[in-house]
Amino acid sequence: MNTERHVHHSWAEPYKIKMVELLRMTTREEREQAIREAGYNTFLIRSRDVYIDLLTDSGTSAMSDRQWSGLMMGDEAYSGSENFYHLQDAVREYYGYKYLVPTHQGRGAEHLMSRIMIKPGDHVPGNMYFTTTRLHQELSGGTFVDVIVDEAHEPESTQPFKGNVDMAKLDKLVQEVGAERIPYISLEGCVNMAGGQPFSMANLRELNAYCREHGIPIMLDATRTIENAWFIRQREDGYSTRSVRGILREICDLTDGCTMSAKKDLLVNIGGFFCCNDEELFLKAQNMVVIYEGLHTYGGLAGRDMEAMALGLREAVMEEHQSARIGQVHYLGQKLLDAGVPIVMPMGSHAIFIDAKAFLPHLDQDAYPAQTLAAELYLDAGIRCMERGNVSAGRDPETGKNRRPALELVRLTLPRRVYTQAHMDVVAESVYNVYKRRHEIQGLKMTYEPEYLRFFQARFEPV
């Protein structure tokens, strides 16, 4: 077989199944009880009550036989674990950063970076907010400033690189507050809250030149950057014959460091890290990690977890892995498009995002259309997804009002290497079932609202 052709013409999985996990089906009555008990919040449903779990791609992927064998090679020494050095070698080889500090997951790395880089009163520009990223910036006294292109906030815009930084927005901020009040710009690949939208290499090159001139470091949120590299290969002029790993390295070489939630791209159930090239910054991060996470050669992880990450990285940069992973997401998206369901375009890498404002136009945003739709989808067939709208965005700290973001979305997120094409068919059918009766659907009111990251634990009731 001509494998080259095969890779380009089919997204078939480059693996076969060795072990399976049984699923439990529920009745409509059981689901009605489960969602009521969960306060109409899909985060609060027990996973035993879920049939197809599309809550997140975070920590939910299937590890390979090699990764599972790697667990047996865990060197659980308190200090200087061999697995740390394997991880460091792999990170240096594929991402290219000089220094690595492991953390238990992404927000652990965000915590360290925010504490060591942000001073009270600073402004931190970013290509759209992420919930935990922005919160850590705020807890360190910083203010997040959105500098993503306008199209990112428009679900129907088909611009291929909706993750791009709007250079005029960035320059306006620099003129207003001065480069010395900007500790770094936070750049995310396959921007999660925008629908998994990539930035282009051309945009990153322009950003790099600008930031160099103004002395502003670029800190990458590397969580889904390998997926971003795949889109550059697919969509950007001059990259179609380049390898994903080559593109990944080119991205990292244009940045100064990163935070990482390894629970996504790197195919592990837990793990993260902070990286940089600057020695002084590294020494600060290495010192800070011992306060909050653990010693600097394990950062809150077991040795075996670092081994699984190192091996996962080597699998994640494989072309055929990414085309199967993203191919499956797009298979689901195409089914929804064919059924007329409004989704964010272009389709992103890790999830299909339903436009809940267009799906439920009769609901005011403060009746939480995306939260409502997520609950309805669970009720229909036991499929669990996530709200990414008014609840996730939280309240404006100045006015105390709901932020009412432009994007009011429901995220159907695909774990890597877990579900089959037939599962995707079931998901598409269930979404369509709910779509047919969308006019009958009523909204929710919030009955309990926690102080931080409210979407995780908030409770609701039907209005």
Query: What positions carry a catalytic annotation?
Result: 78, 130-131, 221, 264, 388, 455
By beta-carbon proximity to ligand P61, the closer residue of 174 and 222 is: 222
Mark out the alpha helices in 382-439 (DSSP H runs). 390-393, 421-436
Residue carrying the six token digits 């030149």: 209
Provide the minimum distance between the beta carbon of 28 and ligand P61 in the complex, in angstroms, as a whole number: 27
Provide the minimum distance between the beta carbon of 103 and ligand P61 in the complex, in angstroms, as a whole number: 9
Task: Tell me the CA distances in angstroms from 248 to 80, 220, 402, one per residue in order.
Answer: 28, 12, 37
Supply 190's token pair.
Answer: 């396959």
C-alpha–C-alpha distance, residues 404 and 424, integer Å? 31
Provide the minimum distance between the beta carbon of 91 and ligand P61 in the complex, in angstroms, as a whole number: 16
Cis ω for the linkage preceding 342 (within 30 of 0)? no
C-alpha–C-alpha distance, residues 134 and 114, integer Å? 10
- Position with the least CB separation from ligand P61: 106
C-alpha–C-alpha distance, residues 4 and 107, integer Å? 39
Provide the minimum distance between the beta carbon of 192 and ligand P61 in the complex, in angstroms, as a whole number: 4
Q: Please, what is the end-to-end C-alpha distance for the chain in angstroms?
A: 59
Supply 59's token pair.
Answer: 């920590």
DSSP states of 137-173: HHHTT-EEEE-B-GGGG-TT---TTTT-B-HHHHHHH
Supply 333's token pair.
Answer: 């998206």
Provide the minimum distance between the beta carbon of 131 and ligand P61 in the complex, in angstroms, as a whole number: 3
By beta-carbon proximity to ligand P61, the closer residue of 179 and 270 is: 270
Supply 396's token pair.
Answer: 């404006």
Q: Among 191, 211, 196, 316, which residue's Cα sits nearest to residue 254?
A: 211
By beta-carbon proximity to ligand P61, the closer residue of 95 and 130 is: 130
Provide the minimum distance between the beta carbon of 184 and ligand P61 in the complex, in angstroms, as a whole number: 15
Q: Which residues bind ligand P61 (CB under 6 A)?
A: 56, 58, 105-107, 130-133, 188, 192, 221, 223, 261, 263, 272, 386
Task: Tell me the CA distances in angstroms from 413 to 11, 104, 182, 386, one per residue in order.
Answer: 18, 22, 33, 8
How many CB atoms lie under 10 A from the CB of residue 317?
24
Bridge partner residues of 384 (DSSP): 53
How many CB atoms lie under 10 A from the CB of residue 280?
9
Provide the minimum distance between the beta carbon of 257 and ligand P61 in the complex, in angstroms, as a whole number: 14
Contact between residue 55 and residue 388 where contact means Cβ atoms under 8 Å apart: no
How many CB atoms lie under 10 A from the CB of residue 284?
18
